[in-house]
Structure 1
Amino acid sequence: MDPDTVDPETFMMNGAQSNETAPETYEPVQHHWFYRKEIKNSKEIWLPFSQRDSDALEAKYISDLPEEEKIVATEGGRFDVDIPKRIRNPVYWKGDITNVRRCSWFYKGSTTAKYSPYEEDIATNLEAEYRKCFENNQWHKRIELPNKDLIVLHSYDVLVLFPPSMSADDWSNAQSQVRPRVVRRGVEEFEIDEGEPEKVDHILFMVHGIGSVCDLKFRTVEEVVDEFRNISLQLIRTHYQSSCQNGISNRVEVLPISWHDELHSEDTGIDKILRSITLESISRLRDFTNDTLLDILFYTSPKYCQKIVSTVGQELNRIYELFKSRNPTFKGGVSLGGHSLGSLILFDLLAHQQSPIEDDSTSQTSKDRRISHMYGAMNTGIVRIHYPQLSFQPAALFAMGSPIGMFMTVRGLDSLGEDFALPTCEAFFNIFHPYDPVAYRIESLINPNLANLKPMLIPHHKGRKRMHLGKN
């Protein structure tokens, strides 16, 4: 039986009484802040903020500050919550504005496995009625809600919801298909995370590959990066527990960099043109091709390649400067990570950064020679692209499932040379799964003898074998 439904016959025999001793005095309910999240099939769920974020929201809520100053940075500073408006905004990327709520009473609907909070005014009324019942020791109070739901307060910890289709006088009918459901007061039974450390040790910018979604779950780059960040924090807490407790290791902030929407925006007109030339047959396959696979061809076009690299470069600089303005004490390093085509975009961008030892007196001829070396003697590479200069020097580039080696070969380059280096980035890691069909090695382009060297196996943090690593 669902533990959050009430069997009518059992409920009748027990007299709707609690087996626990009631507290002697009334204790006000503790509020916790939640935010709404849209899920598939137009459904929604409410998720709790971390304890640290909820405490910060509650402190600002009860403060005497003007309403325009009641804005709280939450979730590591990635979302701002406007308390008076009850909305939550993403800070670093474009995204949906979601509702937030100060919660204390919860119910479970008939179609969801998660609890949903009552609206704040309803919760306030329920708490007031609960207090009257408690202080007067007069229970079995019936409260009808605006949507015709009926809540019965049988005792201090037996609170029941009757849907409109079921009368509270009919629950002895064993044939009833609708069972009364438990109402929860407070958040004692919720799993609430303590929250992320405030201090950030390192930033990792992640650039996505082809298409508008990043995996077979059809998640966006922001959603995938959320999971990446959560796993990173989990590993730090479990593998460096002592350092975490002593404040030596804190967290890595992972932020998404998106370029697909800009490429397919109305400004470029790509999608409009594609719709006019796309055949009507096998429409789903053609839509997938236009949205995903054609991104590879667009990157080989000077016009659209310029749009992509400009977007990535501008977003990297914009988000980095915004992060520093919101975290003025940050002294950590920055790394870049790219998946699939995203790794190639970053590789090209970093290959065209001005070296710290170069200055304005560096001749254009020497720069052109470097570019020609990068893309082959036949000048078949993308040499007409203007690559923006980054406002920071990354510590490392992590290429995941990367086709860099293949693209270098297609561009007519048979060797990078053993003295090859990215001008402003000291470390480069080529990470791949052995069954990834678009991942290629790059070591042999630096030294042909490395083609026979087996890649290094990365131990999985739970003991499984998953990734392979090539380090240059």
Structure 2
Amino acid sequence: MWISGPIRVRVIAVSSCGNWQRCYSTARQSSVVRWFYASDVPKSKPEAMQYTPTKPPSTFVPFSANDSKRLEWAYNNDPNRKVLVKEDGLFHVNLDRREVAPVYWQGPVFEVRRGLWFYHNGGKPSPCSEQLGLEIEQFYQRAIADDAKTDPKEKHTERVYCLDSLSGKIKFSKDNRSVAWVNPDDSMTLQRLTGGTKVVRGYNDKVDEEQEGAVGADGDTVSDSPAEESLKDKFMSSLFDSEGQMENKSEEDLKHEMESEYDDTDKASSDKTRPDDSTRKVTHLLLCVHGIGQRLARKIESVNFVHDINVFRKSFKALYTETEELQAALNPDRVPVDPKNKDEKSKKSKKDQEGDPSLLNCEVQALPVLWRDSVAFGMTQSERTVHPKGITLDDVTVEGVRAVRHIVGDVILDVFLYKQPNFKRQIIDAVKEEVNRIYKLFRENNPNVGDELKVSLIGHSLGSAICYDMLTNKDDVKDLEFEVENFYGVGSPQGLFLLLEGTSIEPEDLLINGSYYNIFHPCDPIAYRVEPLVDKEAAPCPVARIPYSKGGLNSQIQELSQFGQRITKGATSAWSTVMSSWASKTDKSVQDALKNVLETTRDANDKFQKTLDGQELVSDESEGPEVPRKVAEKLTKLNVNGRVDYGLQEGVLDISLIAALASHISYFENPDMVNLILWSLYKPDGVPVLQENQQSSE
């Protein structure tokens, strides 16, 4: 029940011109403060996207406990500094502007809040705005002071004050001053009828096991974001509706997927069994160079290489955590593995992990290298100075379907331009500058990284050709701030480029310390082999096949199972239709014949399903000649495993044009490729391939 005579106190410390003054000056208890960041509506995006927010953010995610403590320390001691947060400091917080942004690439910028008072209405705790929180805190301190002056017998009374920021009132609980109800002046509002919106002082990360969102003893109040569906699967499956038209909602969904990338690196931060991501050991840095089409990201945000690498990063962390063999490969002296006794191996591994959480650290970091916006090709009006007479692509583009032509230009023209000597040099120089910038910044932000850090390059599509040309040019290699360990060409057209140039691959020309991997999907129309360019006798030899990781095998089995079920379902439907329409028109012999066809189909599917259940899969891959020894010796100079071409295994249903296109843009979410790369980093001479491709002969 509201009491009369509310007290009004003016707020004296508010934000001014975007520069925040230090507030909550009386609330220095770090244990009750938690820092949050918005995850749904960015404050800004890269200038090229021409973005303006249309609504304020409504979803806030807590920083990890460690990041929050460091933010609070900086807030109280050095508020003008930028604080690195998230895994390996991939993002930084500007305390003055209250925003968080990526460190190594351009991306969306989100609001940051220092939370002291939180909304608690049966859901996840959400921080009040800092202005409102400051005002509530001042009234809280006033209530505490008033209690100290009041007779103890009269202390337990509700205290009500007027709020300036909401034009309403706040009522503090008579039993606990850290709990209050905010109510606007409008007596007809829902909040007024239900007693107001509950706010609680201090962040409590526990919830009641029996009631989600209630404050209790166990569980996290802020759950992880939902499991993220493959971006490429979502893009390809929702690109067209049943009538072949573009769906408007799919792009909004994809935006949300990318804007939630800030959540991805913190999912394990509250798990005490995991290492502290802010100080973890990193021994391998993967710099990933994009290919064609990145300029298209200005128009279609789902075409986003940064997101691809975020998915890649999450994939190798998850795969490492789930695979004891990989853990043993990285830590051979700390994770005993007995392949003959899986149960004992599992017990030992789990015991070691519980005693040493660092075993769950894969020691790998991957960062995107974005070069396209650094190169001016004379494509737009702002790049008129590139052509001697100021002519641009806009000037020569035909009027018809101009939008489609621009999309094609944003994708295909990158290849044409790269084959022009002057533009090729611009692109390579831009990539060199960017990889050097990222490398130096990473070492600066992670001083604990020692000389053992190894840097490898991953080039996707055209990016693989750029990296190859850079790594075969002595002057370019000299310009790099680091030595390159491994080079991975992914979905690479380099084999075709070298063929058209009439050149071959000489192992001594590739200036790397480790191995060269040419990884491709058999359905990828952009990818080509390179081994025949090392030695022509390698052409008839089958490529090294990358085995399924656990996830890959299960997904194939599921796909095969669903395929068989669809065959049976279709046959059953067809049988029912035929029988209903022909029952009165066809003699019994025809009906019996059709029935036999159906029964045969069912028997075949039952047998097929039993095979799947037992995982008795038989490869139908045709065997080719073994790799001649002299060819293997040449290939060993490029890759310690004696092979360079590594092919992912083809899925049963990878037979359509859409599947072919999807195969080229989905490498970084493929668990089998992730598995191969991790093995190549941890055990360079022990990369797993299907056994039939490991032999060689004279």
Provide TM-score, normalisation by structure 1.
0.70
* Cα deviation digits, residues 186-218 of structure 1 (max 9, x gap): 352113641525122211111111122688862
Which residue of the partner structure matches residue 52 of structure 1?
Answer: 66
Residue of structure 2 equivalent to 1:341: 462
What's the counterpart of residue 118 of structure 1?
Answer: 128
Residues 387-439 of structure 1 show CA distances to partners (whole Å, capped at 9, x for unaligned) of: 773222211112222111121122223x436x555122421112223332212
Mark the CA change 1:217 to 1:84 in structure 2 (over 3 Å): closer, same or farther: closer
Q: How large is the RMSD of aligned CA atoms in angstroms?
A: 4.1
Task: Identify which of 402, 407, 412 aligns with 2:502.
Answer: 412
Q: Structure 1 residues 167, 429: closer, same or farther in 2, change over 3 A?
A: same
Matched, 1:146 2:169: no
Measure, in 2, the Cα distance between the counterparts of 1:114 and 1:299. Answer: 51
In the alignment, what sits opposite 1:201? 283
Work out which of the residue numbers 395, 402, 407 in structure 2 matches 1:276: 395
Deviations 1:298-339 (A, max 9, x none): 101111111100000111122222323333442211111111
Q: Describe the SS at the equivalent of 1:247.
A: helix
- Structure 2 regions of 5+ residues with no counterpart? 1-28, 43-50, 148-154, 206-220, 224-265, 270-275, 328-349, 557-647, 650-672, 677-686, 690-698
CA drift of 1:259 comes to 1.0
**Kept after mapping to 2: 8 A contact 1:340/1:403:** yes
Q: Distance in 2 between matches of 1:97 and 1:217?
A: 15
Which residue identity lines up with residue 528 of structure 2 in the other structure? Y
Written as runs of structure 1 = structure 2, the 5 A alignment for 1:337-416 is: 337-353=458-474, 389-413=479-503, 415-416=504-505
Cα pair distance change 1:152/1:190, threshold 3 Å: farther
Deviation at 1:35, TM superposition (A): 2.6
Question: Alpha-carbon deviations, 1:273-316, whole Å to 9, x = none?
Answer: 11121122212211211222111111011111111000001111
Give the match for residue 290 of structure 1.
Answer: 409
**Counterpart among 98, 107, 129 of residue 86 in structure 1:** 98
CA contact (8 A) 1:208 1:214 kept: no
- Name which of 519, 535, 542 aligns with 1:453: 542
List aligned pairs for 1:64-75, cutoff 5 A: 65=78, 67-68=79-80, 70-75=81-86
CA distance in 1, matches of 2:103, 2:191: 51
Higher helix share: 2
Q: Distance in 2 between matches of 1:168 and 1:121?
A: 23
Preserved contact between residue 61 and residue 222 of structure 2 (Cα < 8 Å): no
> 1:143–1:348: structure 2 CA closer, same or farther, 3 Å change rule?
farther
Answer whether contact 1:401 1:431 (CA < 8 A) is retained.
yes
1:305 matched to 2:305? The reply is no
Which position in structure 1 is the counterpart of 2:365?
Answer: 253
Larger strand fraction of residues:
1
- Flag structure 1 segments of 5+ consecutive residues without an equivalent: 1-26, 173-178, 355-385
Contact 1:162 1:168 in 2 (8 A): no
Shift of 1:50: 2.1
Which of the residues 18, 32, 35 maps onto 1:33? 35
Q: CA separation of 1:169/1:236 partners in 2, compared to 1, >3 Å: closer, same or farther? A: closer
Q: What's the CA shift string for 1:362-405, capped at 9, x where partnerless?
A: xxxxxxxxxxxxxxxxxxxxxxxx77732222111122221111
Q: Which residue of 2 aligns with 1:104?
A: 116
Tell me the equivalent position of 2:528. 440
Query: Which of 419, 431, 438 does residue 319 from structure 1 map onto?
Result: 438
CA drift at 1:94: 4.1
Moved more, 114-123 or 159-168: 159-168
Q: Is the 1:317–1:390 contact (alpha carbons within 8 Å) kept by the matching residues of 2? A: yes
For the residue of structure 1 that corresponds to 2:292, the secondary structure is coil
State the 1:56 CA deviation: 1.2
CA gap of 1:47–1:168, structure 2 versus 1, over 3 A, is closer
Aligned match of 2:222 = 190
